[in-house]
Structure 1
C-alpha cells in the first residue's frame, strides 16, 4: 500500500461549506451556499428527461460563466479572508464564483420569465411572474450574503461576482434570444439531435398546458380504440 502521510489533500471548495458550531442562522446560510450544486443537479436532470435545446444552451452558458470566473480569479489572484476554517481554501477570492454563478442564473431566469414565458398575461400570471422573480432575487441575496457571513469572501468579492454574473447572464440571454433561437428548428433537425431526441419548444407559449392537453387527448383516443377493439 502506498504511503499517504506526505500527501497534501485539496478540497473541492465549491461544495465544501463550514459554519460556526451552534450558529443556526449560519447553518441555514451554509445550505443556501450550496444552491449552485442543487441548480447543476437540476439542470442535469431536466436535460436528461426533457431534452430541450434551450435548456442545453442555458447550461452551456453556465459553463461559459464559470470559465470566465476561473480566468479572472487566476489573473487577479486576490486572497480570501483568513477565517480559521478547518479546510483551507486554496482558490483565489475575486470575484466570488458562488455569487457570480447564482446571479448569472437569476438574471437569465428573470429575463426568461418576463420575455419568453407567455401564458395568458392575466392578473394571476403577472402576480406569478413578479412573485417568482422576487423569490429569485431574495434567494440570490441570501447566497451572496452567506459567502460574506461565513467568511469565505470579502464584500467586494461578492459584489463583483454579482456584477459579472448579471452582465454575463443578460448577455447570454440576449445571445440566445436574438442569435441562437432562430436556429433552433434547424439544429434539432440534425441527425445527432434526432438520435438523442433533442427538441425545440420555444414556439409553444405554454408548454405545460400543451403537454397536458396533448397527453389527455392521446390517452382518450387510445382508450376509445381499446374499447372498440373489445366490442369487436
Structure 2
C-alpha cells in the first residue's frame, strides 16, 4: 500500500492559493478596463501625448491605491471577525468543556457518523487538540493561516498596476492615428486571456466568461471614447 506523503498540499491551502490567484487576475482585469477607458477617452479628445500620459499614470496610481486601501479594509475586517470567533471558542472551551464535547460529537453525528463513532471521534480529537478540532468543524478557520491585510493590499495594488500598464503602453507607442485601434485590439486580447484564466480557476464555462468580459471592456472603451469625442469637440481641444 502506498503511504500518504506528509508534505502533500492540504486542500484548504490549495483553495486559498487559488483564491489569491483568482483575485490577482481580477485585479489585473480591473486595471486593464479602467485605465483603457481613461486613456481612450482622453485620446479621443486630444492627440497630444502629454495629457494621455498624465491621465494614464494618474489613473494607474489612483486605482492601485484605491484597490489596496479597499482590500486592506476588507481583509482587516475579516481578520478581526475571525480572531473574535476564535477567542469566543477558546472561552467556551474553558468555561463549558463537557457541553463543547457534546456539541462536537453532535456535529460529527450530523455528518453521518453513528452516535457511538461520533462520540469516540470527538473524544479523541479533544484529547489531541480540543481547540483545533472545534474551530475546524464549527468555524472552518485555520488559526495559523488567518488572512493578512497587508499581503492582500500589496497583491491588489501590484495586480492592478500590471494590468493598467498594458493600455497605457498600447496608447502611447503607436502614432496618433493608430493609437485607439491598437489599444482596442491589445485590451480585448488581454481581456480574453484574463477571462480564460478566470474561467479555468473558477471551473466555469470559458466561452461565456470571455464573451462577458469582452463585451464589458469594449463597452467601457466605446463609452469613454464617445465622451472624449464630445468633450474634445465642445471644448475645442
Larger CA Rg, structure 1 vs 2: 2
Normalised TM-score (structure 1): 0.28
Structure with higher helix content: 2
Normalised TM-score (structure 2): 0.28
The structure with higher relative contact order (CA 8 Å, sep 6+) is 2
